[in-house]
A = this chain, B = another copy of it.
Amino acid sequence: MNKRQPDLTVVLENVFDPHNISAVMRSCDAVGVEEIYVLTTKIPPHKKWGAKSSSSAAKWLTIHQFDNTEKCFLSLRKRYSTILTTYLSHDALGLHELDLTKSTALVFGNEHSGVSEEILTFADGNFCIPQVGMIRSLNISVACAVSLYEAFRQKQLAGHYNQRKLNDVRVNELHKKWERNESEK
């Protein structure tokens, strides 16, 4: 609880494979991301996250679901200063050039088509994970984990894990939720 980071989140746009989503959640939990945004405009909404399973990270995260891009981004804007999408534009920044100690939401797109054109108009910029190989694509759960751990590295250096960042109200809310989770085991 004391390591949760209210200034970092992940947005999954039309990511459809439940295995990818649970892998992303596990990485989020590992670096202290507290909430994630799941946007489904081109696929049916996801029904469950396996939140009852004790090994599921869904249990320890707050998951915001949207089927409307505008509403999703309105909500994101209230909490995060910068929204960046994984899109290989000519002006995309490399992952290691980002300042991830600042309040940031990272958007990952659909497994096949990536982030949509629509999303790009809502975001502040693009970033990419540098690659020097023969195959120029990474699985979304891998891309997300690599991005989150770069944020972790930067935030740890900057002391973000040294003291509690959630406020008392949020801590109480989460304590209640987590206790409920435990009692439902």
Contacts and interface: CB of A to CB of B under 8 A. Distances in A.
Interface string A48-73: 00000001010110000000000000
A27 interface: yes
Given A150-B149, A153-B150, A29 B133 contact: yes
Majority-rule SS of A interface residues: helix
Interface in A42-94: 55, 57, 59-60
A59 B135 CA distance: 10
Interface residues of A, number: 33
A108 B29 CA distance: 21
Contacts of A150: 149, 153
B96 A138 contact: no
26 contacts: A3-B132, A23-B142, A26-B133, A26-B139, A27-B142, A29-B133, A29-B134, A30-B129, A30-B131, A30-B135, A31-B131, A55-B135, A57-B133, A57-B134, A57-B135, A59-B134, A60-B133, A60-B135, A96-B153, A96-B156, A130-B156, A138-B145, A141-B141, A141-B142, A145-B146, A146-B146
